[in-house]
Structure 1
Amino acid sequence: MSAFLWGSATAAYQCEGAWNEDGKGQSNWDVFCHSEKNSINPATGDTASDHYHRFEEDLNLMAAGGQNAYRFSIAWTRIIPNGTGVVNPEGIAHYNAVIDACLARGIEPVVTLYHYDLPESLFVAGGWENRRTSDAFCAYAKACFNAFGDRVRTWFTVNEPNYDTLCCYGIGNYPPNIKDLSRRWRAMYHMLLASAKAVTAFREGAYQGMIGLVSDSYAIEAHSDTPDYQEAKRLADLFYNRSVNDVAVLGQLPTELIDKLRSEGQILDYLLPGDQEILAAGKVDMLGINAYDRMLVKPCTTSQTSLSTNNTGTADSSNETNIAGWFSVDEDPTTQKNAWGMELYPKSIYTLLHQLNDRYPNLVFMITENGVGYRDQLVDGQVHDTYRVDFLKGFVNWTLKAREEGCDVRGYFVWSTMDLYSWINGYAKRYGLVYVDYNDNCRRIPKDSYYWYKDTIAAWNQKEGR
C-alpha cells in the first residue's frame, strides 16, 4: 500500500470567509444565508473562520501536528464567478498560494472541486436539476486541472451527492429548501453525471494522480433479521449507498433503483441516450468516505414520507426519517448520542469498509471526513474535548483494523481542521481540532484532540519506520 495520509478537512464556504473579495461571485449559500429563509440559526459564512486570510497560520498548525495532508474544497465562485465564462485570475492566485504553502510544509493538498456551494447564476437557472450544470461543472473542473494539476495529485469531484440533495430536496433545510424526493433524484443524477464528465476530462488531460468522488456512505444495520427488516436494509443501502457508489465506481445507475423509481410513477426523462457511455467512462479511481454514523433501519409502516433533522442541538428538535415504500430509520436506546442526536458508534466504520470492500473489490478508499460536533467550552485558555478524543480514537482504531484485514484505505481526515460554520447548525456546533474564538478575531487555540491526533500520527510513523 502507498504511504498513509493523515490529515484534516475543511470546505470553502464553511471556513474561508472573504465572501465578496478578490472577484469572487455569489454562491447559493451566500444568497441563502443573507435571506429570510435562513431562520433556524441565522448566521452566515461571510467571515467564517477567516481561513482565506489565515491559511498559512492554519497550515503551520497542521504541520506542527504532524499532519501530512490537507483536504480542502475550491470555491467554484472564486474560479469562475458567474458559474460559466471567464476565469478569475485572483481566484487562481489564491489557491495557487494555498497549494504552494501546503507543499512547502510537506502537506499534500487533497482538493475537492464541489462542496455544496453552487454559483448563484447556475442555481437560479435550476441548479443541479438543470442538466447544463453538469457541463458547466466540467468546464470549471478543467480550469482547476489546468491551473493546479501540476502540483495536486489527489482530486475529488463532488462531495456527498446523497446528503447534499437529501437536505436540499428531502429535509428541505438547504437551498432550494424543497421537500420533493423526485426532484432530489434528478439533481443527484446530474451531480453524478458531472462527476463522470470531470473524471473523463482529467484522464483526457493526462494529469498525474488519482481522482474520485466523496460519498457519505453508511453501514446499514437492523435490530431484526426477519424478511421485512432485510428488505428495509436492502432498500436503505440502495437509497443511501448504491445510488451514488454504483454510479461512481461501476459506472452505472443500479437497475434496482431505476425499477424502484419507475414503480413509484416517477418520470425519469433525465436518463438520456448516451449517458451510460458517459458514466462508464467516468468511473473513479478511489472512493472518499465521509464517515459519521451508521443507518439503523426498520420497515416503514407509514404511507407518508417525513424527514427532519436536529439543527439546534436541543431536546425540542429531533431527527426523523420515514420514506414511504422504502424504510424508516430506527433507534438504539443503548448507544450514546451527541446533543444533535448523532449516534456515537465507532465500529460502524469497520462494518462499512468491509461492506464496501465486498461490493467493490480492489477499490481504493480514503476516509475523507470523520468527526463529531459538540458545544466545546474554552476554559482558562484550553479546550478539554475528551469526548472527541474518545470518538476519533475509536474510528481510527476500527479503520486501521479494516485496513489490516485487506481494505485498501489510503488516508484518514478529521473533520474539521478548525472550528467552522456548520451549515444550518451555525457556529455553536464545533468539530475542529483547533478552537476558533469568534469573539477574539478568530484566534486559534489547539484542543486536547489536536494533541491526541499529533501523538497518534507520531506513533504511527514510529511504527511504520517513517
Structure 2
Amino acid sequence: MSVLTRRHLLRRAALSASAVPAARLSVGAAATAAAGTGATLTGCDAGSESDPERRTSPEARLGLRFPERFGWGAATSAYQIEGAAKEDGRGESVWDTFSHTPGRVRNGDTGDTAADHYHRYLGDLDLMQELGLDTYRFSISWPRIQADGTGTPNQRGLDFYRRLVDGLHQRGIAPMATLFHWDLPQSLQDIGGWESRDVAYRFADYAEAVFAALGDTVPVWLTINEPKTVVQNGYLGGHHAPGLRDPAAAYLVAHHLQLAHGLAVQALRATGSDSRIGPALNLHPCYPADDSPGVEEATRLYDGYENRLYLDSIFKGAYPADVLADLGPDSRLAQGIRDGDLAIISAPVDLLAVQYYTPIYVTAGGGITRKWPTSVASWQQIFPEGMYDILTRVTRDYGDVPLTITENGLPTPDVLAADGTVDDPARIEFLRDHLAAVHRAIADGVPLESYHVWSLMDNFEWNEGYEQRWGLIYVDFPTQRRVLKRSAHWYRGVIADNAI
C-alpha cells in the first residue's frame, strides 16, 4: 500500500467519523432544495411541495400502491436491543469490551441492558403484530450461541431464538435472521479477530450450528451485516469495535468477512434447506461533487471502495481491478487471497439485502463534501433520489437478483410528551419520500420484494449510545416503557393499505 493510499484511507475514515454537520432542514425542505437544483425527487408528481396539504401534513398520501405480496417490515440487531449481556451463558463480544472502555461511547453508555428485548420479547412481538408487520429482520448474537466463538452451542441461547421465531410465526410474521451484526466474540478478537483467516471458518461452524437448530423455520437468512462498516468504522476510523486504525489490516478484514459470507452460504446449501440466503450490504451511491478535472476518476475509485469491493466479489467473483491497483500488489488484501477464495465468496445467493442511508459526493482530490441537509446523524445526507439510484444501479450492473431493503431510516430528537405521545413528523416525511423512490424503482423493473424500516424501536446506537433515536417505537430506557410514535401509526396505515 502506497503512502498516498494510506493517507487517503485515513482521511476517508476521519471524514466519515467526524464530519461537521451541514445546516439541518426538514425532509420536505430537502425535497424543495432538490427541486430547486433540477434534481428529480420520486413521488413529487403525486403531491408537490407547492401543495399546502403535503407541506403541512406528513401523512398526506401520494396515491402510490405497491405490488401485491410486497413485504413490509422493520429491523433490529441483537447487541442494540437484547441486553441480558451476562445471562444464560452469553459470552463477551467486542462491543461489550468497546462500550466498557472509557471514552469510546457517548455518555459512557453500554449495551448491557439496551431495550431489554431478551426479557420483553413477547411484548415486543405483540407490538410488531399491532403494527401489522409482514416480516421482521433481527440478528442472532454469536456470543449467545458460542460464548468463546467455538465449540458446542449454548442451548439456552438457541432456545431464546427458537422462542422468538416461534412467536413470529404465531403472529403471522416472517422471520429474517442475520447471522452476524458486528458482535464478534471477544475470544476470537483476542486471537486476531477478522484479521485471522481462521475466524471465517469459525463463523461457518457457528452458522452450521444455528442452521441445525432453527432450520427452515427461518425462511430468509442474511450472512454478514455491512462488512464495509466493520472495515471503515472498526479498522480505519476506530470509532466502532474493535476500535483500530490500521489501513493495512482493514482490507484483509474485508476479504475475510467476504470469505465468511461465502462459507455460510455453502453451509446452508449443505443442509438441503429450502431457506434463502444472501448478504446485507450498505450501499452508498457515489456522485462527482462538481465537474472539475479528475473528479470522475476519483468518484469511480471511491465507488470501488464503497460498493464494488463487496458487490463484485459476490456477484462477479473478482475484486475491482482499480481498488486492487490502488492498494497495491503487496497489500494484505492481495496477499491474503488464496486459490478458490473468490469461488467461495461468489457462491450463488438467493437475494441481496440493500441498506441505504446517504449519498456520497466525491471531490477531484478523493475527499467528500456535503450537498444536502443532514439528519441528527451528521454523516447522513437526506437525499431520497439516492435510493432509486442505488436500487436501479444494482439491477443494471448485477442482474435480476431479488432485492430486499433491510435498513432505511432517520434519527430524530424524539421526546415523550406529557400526554404520552411522541411526535416525529420528520421521520414520516423521510420514510414517505424514500418509499416513493422505492416505488419508482419497482415501476422501472427493480425486483424488490420487501422493505424494512430501521429501526423497530429505539436502541443502543453503537458509539452514539442512547443519544440517537431511530425507532418507530419510543423506548423510555429507565422504565423500558414502549410507546408507538406518530411514525409507527403512519407506517401501520401504509402496511394496511399497501400504499403511500
* Normalised TM-score (structure 2): 0.84
Q: Is residue 444 of structure 2 the alignment partner of residue 405 of structure 1? A: yes
Within 5 Å, give how 1:6-405 maps onto structure 2.
6-262=72-328, 268-280=334-346, 282-300=347-365, 327-332=366-371, 335-341=372-378, 342-380=380-418, 381-405=420-444
Assess if the C-alpha contact under 8 Å between 1:365 and 1:408 holds in 2: yes
Question: Structure 1 residues 277 and 343, CA, compared in 2 at 3 Å: closer, same or farther?
Answer: closer
C-alpha offsets along residues 167-186 of structure 1, whole Å, 9 cap, x if unaligned? Answer: 01111111222222221101
Contact 2:81 2:114 in 1 (8 A): yes
Q: Does 1:454 align with 2:489?
A: no
Please tell me the residue identity of whatever aligns with 1:425.
E
**Structure 1: which 4+ aligned runs deviate by more than 3 Å?**
263-267
Taking a change above 3 Å as real, the CA distance of residues 64 and 190 of structure 1, as seen in their structure-2 partners, is: same
Going from structure 1 to structure 2, the CA distance change for 1:9 and 1:238 (only over 3 Å counts) comes to same
1:429 to 460, 468, 472: 468
Separation in structure 1 between the aligned mates of residue 107 and residue 359 of structure 2, nearest angstrom: 26
Between Structure 1 and Structure 2, the one with more helix by share is 2
Aligned partners of 2:292, 2:320: CA distance in 1, in Å?
24
Summarize deviations over 1:212-258 as a string: whole Å, max 9, x none.
Answer: 10101011112324551111220111010011111122233223322
| Structure 1: distance between partners of 2:390 and 2:410 | 18
**Match in the other structure for 2:45:** none
Residue-by-residue CA offset, 1:292-316 (whole Å, 9 max, x unaligned): 111111122xxxxxxxxxxxxxxxx
Q: Distance in 2 between matches of 1:251 and 1:203?
A: 18
**Is the Cα–Cα contact under 8 Å of residues 370 and 381 in structure 2 kept in the other structure?**
no
Amino acid at match of 1:207: S
Corresponding residue for residue 306 of structure 1: none
**CA 1:277–1:340 in structure 2 vs 1: closer, same or farther (change >3 Å)?**
closer
Cα separation, 1, equivalents of 2:130 and 2:331: 56
C-alpha contact 1:74 1:114 (8 A) present in aligned 2: yes
Residues of 1 paired with 2:309 and 2:150: CA distance?
Answer: 28
Task: Return the alpha-carbon distance in structure 2 between the equivalents of residues 264 and 345 of structure 1.
Answer: 38
Letter in 2 for 1:245: L
Alpha carbons 1:218, 1:293 under 8 Å: kept:
yes
Equivalence map 1:433-444=2 (5 Å): 433-439=472-478, 441-444=479-482
Q: 1:250–1:283: 8 Å Cα contact kept in structure 2?
A: no
Structure 1 range deviating more: 26-35 or 88-97: 26-35
Report which structure shows greater RCO (CA 8 Å, sep ≥6). 2
CA distance in 2, matches of 1:34, 1:110: 30
Q: Gaps spanning 5+ residues in structure 1: where?
A: 301-326
- Number of the residue aligned with 1:419: 458
C-alpha distance 120-266 of structure 1, shift in aligned 2 (>3 A):
closer
- In the alignment, the residues of structure 2 paired with residue 259 and residue 157 of structure 1 have an alpha-carbon distance, to the nearest angstrom, of 28
Number of residue pairs the alignment of both structures matches: 432
Match of 2:16 in 1: none
Tell me how far apart the structure 2 counterparts of residues 2 and 205 of structure 1 sit (CA, whole Å). 31
Secondary structure of 1:67's counterpart equals coil
| Paired-residue identity, % | 37
Return the offset for 1:43: 0.4
1:263 deviates by 6.2
Unmatched 5+ stretches in structure 2 = 1-66
SS at match of 2:336: coil
Per-residue CA deviation, residues 261-282 of structure 1 (Å, 9 max, x unaligned), is: 11686673211123233223x2
Query: 1:319-367 CA deviation, whole Å, 9 max, x = no partner?
Result: xxxxxxxx211111xx321233221111110011111111111111111
Aligned counterparts of 1:18 and 1:419: Cα–Cα separation in 2: 17
**Secondary structure in 2 aligned to 1:121?**
helix
SS in 2 for 1:173: coil
Matched residue of 1:269: which SS? helix
Partners of 1:229 and 1:372 lie apart in 2 by 30
CA contact (8 A) 1:2 1:410 kept: no
Q: 1:86 to 1:57 in 2, by over 3 A?
A: same
**Cα distance in 2 for residues equivalent to 1:91 and 1:397:** 40
Per-residue deviation, 1:207: 0.8
Matched position secondary structure for 2:223? strand
- SS of the counterpart of 1:61? helix
Q: Residues 375-427 of structure 1, C-alpha deviation per residue, up to 9 Å, x if partnerless?
A: 21111211110000000111111111101110011110001111000000110
Provide the C-alpha distance between the structure 2 equivalents of 1:356 and 1:39, rounded to a whole number of angstroms. 34
Aligned to 1:430, the other structure's residue is in SS state coil
- Code of the residue aligned with 1:98 in structure 2: it is L
The Cα of 1:79 is off from its aligned counterpart by: 1.0
Letter in 1 for 2:443: E
**1: distance between equivalents of 2:86 and 2:68?**
40
Corresponding letter in the other structure for 1:457: I
Q: Which amino acid aligns with 1:279?
A: I
Shift of 1:115: 0.2
Q: TM-score, normalised by structure 1?
A: 0.90
1:115-140: CA deviation from partner (whole Å, max 9, x where unpaired): 01000110111100000000000000
State the one-letter code of the partner of 2:403.
Answer: F
In 2: Cα distance, 1:262 partner to 1:275 partner: 19
> d(CA) in 1 for partners of 2:348 and 2:107?
38
